[in-house]
Structure 1
Amino acid sequence: MPDESTPAAGPRRRRDPAGRRRAIVEAAAELITEVGSGGLTHRLVAGRAGVPLGSTTQYFATLDDLREAALQHLADEIDEALAIVRETMKDASTAPAALASAFHEYLRDTRLVQADSALAWASVHDPQLRSLSLRWFDELVAILSAHIGEARATAVAVFADGATWHAALHEEPLDVDFLTDTITALFTEPR
């Protein structure tokens, strides 16, 4: 007969290794945007993900492996914004205003701006991560070059990087009208 002072065992949770790994990576990505990649520890990640400390080392043998997976996750999130750029470029007559509007929405998302900034900063200190950071810039230039030429596309991408750092350092992003005027000028500037 069971002892009434012992609680009955509840239903066992199903193992979800892929879900646990994803939670660890997402927690690490969040922490990188908050404390930088240098401040990342297995203990911080486990706490944020709500998993035992050993889980972080079970899925990621080293802190560098975990850091790289988290930065890759951040880069993938940033890549999603490029899909919007591709859409805005379908109509050249409205492209500068549409791009400025989409960019303004991106800049208003503090988490994405922090992720972008963290990824860029991490790549300055770790050349192996540089390709992750440059992926956004290079792809933006490639998308825009087909419509406005490489020089103008590069100017827009450099402006976008500067506007992103501005948003990371200030409480508000640049005004959408300012973004529209500047992007329009960069799109139409004579060579």
Structure 2
Amino acid sequence: MRLPYVQPGGLRFERQNADGSERMANTYGFKWGEQGDQVQFIAGRTMEVIGKKNNIRSIKALDQPGFVGAKEFEITFDKSLDTSVLIRGNRFVNALTNMFQFTNAVISIYPEIPELKRQRRYFHSGIRIENNVFETFDRPLVYAKSVDGLRFSNNRIITNKEYPAFHWNHYPFLFERVINYKLSQNNFDFNFNPEKDVKTNP
């Protein structure tokens, strides 16, 4: 579950509890989690993961009798293991017909990280993209940022002329701060050259 972005006025941790409140006075937040959901704590400027994912055990309002409208709350959580991301068995057809935000490729793994150069850890890990079909008129297939471990395998790439190519990204694979990636056993209908078609930035 991806949780909405919340800017707390402050979180105070004590063992497995976190107390928090909304940043702006005289405003109330919205329901963002339930018992059993997962929550991951991160550093705001580098988006580095702090610890492992946690399961919410309970949420209790501190300033209201009920949950709705609570400005101050307490979350009790249990630790759980990290999980991987699997994108398998999809068919992507002409997916880059517009320049929406964060669409640097058909699959765009794009966490917003204000200070990427200060990162010491990675935001994502264990991403597998396999057994998919990409029918595309333009070149960008995968963009990824801050990933340790990405595998692109057993995919079929079919190019067409249904729309004119216009995207600013001319690389099928564009990686920013990505390590331990592997491209294997893919079927391209063009002459794929890893030296020219994969662009990596430190």
Using the size of structure 2 for normalisation, the TM-score is 0.30
Q: Which has the higher helix share?
A: 1
Using the size of structure 1 for normalisation, the TM-score is 0.31
Query: Of the two structures, which has the highest relative contact order with CA contacts closer than 8 Å and spacing of 6 or more?
Result: 1
Q: Which has the higher strand share?
A: 2
